[in-house]
Amino acid sequence: MDINTVNSLSYEDFVQVFGNVVEKCPLISAAVWSRRPFTGLSDIEANIAEFIDSLPRSGQEGILRCHPDLAGKDLQSGTLTRESNEEQSQAGMTALDSVEISRMRHLNSEYKKRFGFPFVICARMNDKEAILRQLSERLTNERETELERAIDEVKKICRLRLYNLVLSDTQNKL
């Protein structure tokens, strides 16, 4: 889909297409629709990032809480969004052995207890070893540092999801 097609989408169609670029947060795509016309992929991305950054901390934490645990119950039960399922699979989260699954569950639980939201990392930019290592390392962060880091990871995920949706002439504007 090129940028002209994106700009011509109705509100409903825009939200349908872009509603999950930030996991389970169609409100974000709904909010940025009115900022059309976009000049390119980077403009859409910048508008989404600006919207996220303008939210109070509670709103940013809400975005994080929409993300599933990596290799968690949603993966096991098959209830992940299509995008999350592809991303976790690509990172090797669907191929964990029993020891790795147990370690992920423990670390995910510790992380949620410490920060109040799930661990978020751009799975497509990592493999299972890097994810396990970063989950363990990031548990030592201060809460504010970790909130900012997690929001940065949301933006990376969003960028890659946008890239998958908006192709052709906009690729040169990345």
Look up residue 167 and give its DSSP letter: -
Query: Could you tell me the two tokens for 163?
Result: 């890239």
Q: Which of 134, 78, 140 is nearest to 104 (CA)?
A: 134
Nearest to 81 by CA among 44, 114, 46, 123: 123
Q: Is 67 a catalytic residue?
A: yes
User: How far apart are alpha carbons 157 and 32 in whole angstroms?
Assistant: 17
Q: Which of 55, 81, 74, 71 is nearest to 151 (CA)?
A: 55
| Residue of 51, 67, 84, 131 marked catalytic | 67
Q: Where are the alpha helices (DSSP H) in the chain?
A: 3-8, 11-18, 26-33, 41-54, 57-65, 73-77, 82-90, 98-115, 128-138, 143-165
Rounded CA gap, 125 and 104, in Å? 18
Query: Could you give the CA distance from residue 64 to residue 56 in angstroms, rounded to a whole number?
Result: 13
What is the C-alpha to C-alpha distance for residues 71 and 128, in angstroms, rounded to an integer? 10
Q: Which residues carry out catalysis?
A: 67
